[in-house]
Chain A
Amino acid sequence: MMIPDIIFYIFATVLVLTSLMVVVVRNPVHAALFLILAFFTSACIWVLLEAEFLAITLVLVYVGAVMVLFLFVVMMLDINLAPMREGFAKALPVGMAVAILMFVELMLILGPSRFGINIIPTPNTHDAGYSNTKELGRILYTQYVYPFEIAAVILLVAIVAAIALTMRARRQSKYVRPEQQVNVKRNDRLRIVKVESEQRTR
């Protein structure tokens, strides 16, 4: 066995185990952390496939940004697990039926007949001068430029929509505008009052 193979099997084992832990583990924060590890390991496997741009982007976007916010929310939630497990026995038959259905569907689409070394051949290896980043950029901005730009516009609309949905008309907190704060003059805040000294009464 070659060294890359050994590395692949290590990463693959870690990936499968962590993915399993995401589902199995009780604590939602632990589950999110396992998910982060799973992302990271799959990025490592992509590096083995010479897809370094995608691997780094996966770490940058999912590990570096999405999961941070996800963890942010999960940590702040105070989830009481006991009431969630109450109706376990009652929901089990329906749940099992849905699970089996989903499993069968997945097997139809992604069954073992779709995989294997003769269906998906090993990707060609490239020499040291090959840059995955450059190739990806070239194809993304020539052949697929319209789909790429349209996807970008859709994401922009989504951002605007998300802001529009969460924006409140009236601000609840007492908010200070920094520009007003900076431009404040002494006379706006301070009044010098001449006070006559009191006559001692005794």
Chain B
Amino acid sequence: MIETMLQTGMNVWADVPPALQVVLWTLVKMLALVLPLMGVVAYLTLAERKVIGYIQIRVGPNRVGPRGFGQPIADALKLIMKELIIPSSANRFLFLLAPLVTLAPALAAWAVVPMSDGLVLSNIDAGLLYILAMTSVGVYGIIIAGWASNSKYSFLGAMRSAAQIVSYEIAMGFALVGVLMAAHSLNLTAIVKAQEGGLWNWYWLPLFPLFLVYFIAGVAETNRAPFDVAEGESEIVAGFHVEYSGMSFGLFMLAEYINMVLVAILTSIMFLGGWLSPFDGIPWIEDWMGGSSIFWLIGKAAFFLFMYLWMRATFPRYRYDQIMRLGWKVFIPITIVWLLVVGMLVMGQVGPWFD
């Protein structure tokens, strides 16, 4: 019974024209990437509320399902059922376009992120550049949302966010230049492979300042606390998405969390050896812990996501001019100086990293 069904399935698949086969197969791969990502995002919201709850000696959400595990589903249902309000004097088309413009690049960047050796949607050579380009396009959603809402608060939030993202992109780009100098490649899989050989061969050690700059710039880039002046609920209500309701607001949240996961994964890939096991080359622990696998990547990314939540619960919001100062006067000089150091290390073929 099952065999005949499989056989008919194979026959039908063979009849599909090859061009369509490629399209369908790519679609399946995209779904295999995006669906788990949506799950991660949903439970990241729960984790955020739980972690911050426990840090503040509360319990966090615990009503829906056992220990609050149904909360993300309830939230999603609520967002979908709510009315989509469009302000009467808003630019209707741009107002509805903005959430999509935020979400699309956030998802598109995932196309080149390798989860494990060979487990990547598109293994392109200019992967790092592609990610930089995609994350920089995401700012348009915020700007368009702020402008199209036709509200002063939205507009102020959008302006703040635009200036902040553009400033921090420079520091972020410089940090990535250090990585590509070290790995001699823009391909993310090649970057991970260049770090093979256990904990001390990863780039966090020789590129330590760049590692810190990249992660902090990543937090600023995703507009998360303590850099969330774009929202600034105590000053400008909720920034660029004051006027949004229901699922159009939900899409902004979705894009924000997808970008958080992306920054966490990229930090692990570029500075903490991606899917490589930290015990490579240590005989018996290597066997006991199992070799390099996607679980290491997930573990590292989970650590950085926890850092996100931890920082949010710990630090008060930066003042706007101090954000700009940190970006331009602290991070950019640090990265430029360290690029020189990395250049010298690479030329001198120092240590286990650059030989």
Contacts and interface: CB of A to CB of B under 8 A. Distances in A.
> Are A and B part of the same complex?
yes
Interface in B126-146: 126, 129-130, 132-133, 136-137, 139-140, 143-144
Interface residues of A, number: 25
Given A72-B159, A75-B155, A64 B137 contact: yes
A69 interface: yes
Interface of B is mostly: helix
Interface string B215-250: 000000000000000000000000000000000000
Contact of A33 (B136, B144, B166, B169): B144
B19 interface: yes
B126 A53 contact: yes
B186 A133 contact: yes
Contact of B125 (A59, A76, A134): A134
B169 A65 contact: yes
Nearest to B170: A65
Given A33-B144, A68-B162, A71-B143, A63 B137 contact: yes
Contacts of A33: 94, 144
Contact of A64 (B125, B136, B159): B136
A69 B167 CA distance: 11
B163 A72 contact: yes
A60 B159 contact: no
A167 B325 CA distance: 16
A131 B139 contact: no
Interface residues of B, number: 27
A184 to B, nearest CB: 15
Given A60-B133, A63-B136, A76-B159, A178 B322 contact: yes
B25 to A, nearest CB: 15
Contacts of A29: 147
Interface in B101-145: 124-126, 129-130, 132-133, 136-137, 139-140, 143-144
A38 to B, nearest CB: 14
Contact of B124 (A52, A60, A64, A134): A52
B116 to A, nearest CB: 21
Given A52-B124, A53-B126, A133-B186, A75 B143 contact: yes
Given A65-B166, A65-B169, A59 B325 contact: no
8 contacts: A36-B140, A52-B125, A53-B129, A57-B129, A72-B143, A75-B143, A75-B155, A134-B125
Interface of B: 19, 94, 124-126, 129-130, 132-133, 136-137, 139-140, 143-144, 147, 155, 159, 162-163, 165-166, 169, 186, 321-322, 325
Interface of A: 3, 29, 33, 36, 52-53, 56-57, 59-60, 63-65, 68-69, 71-72, 75-76, 131-134, 175, 178
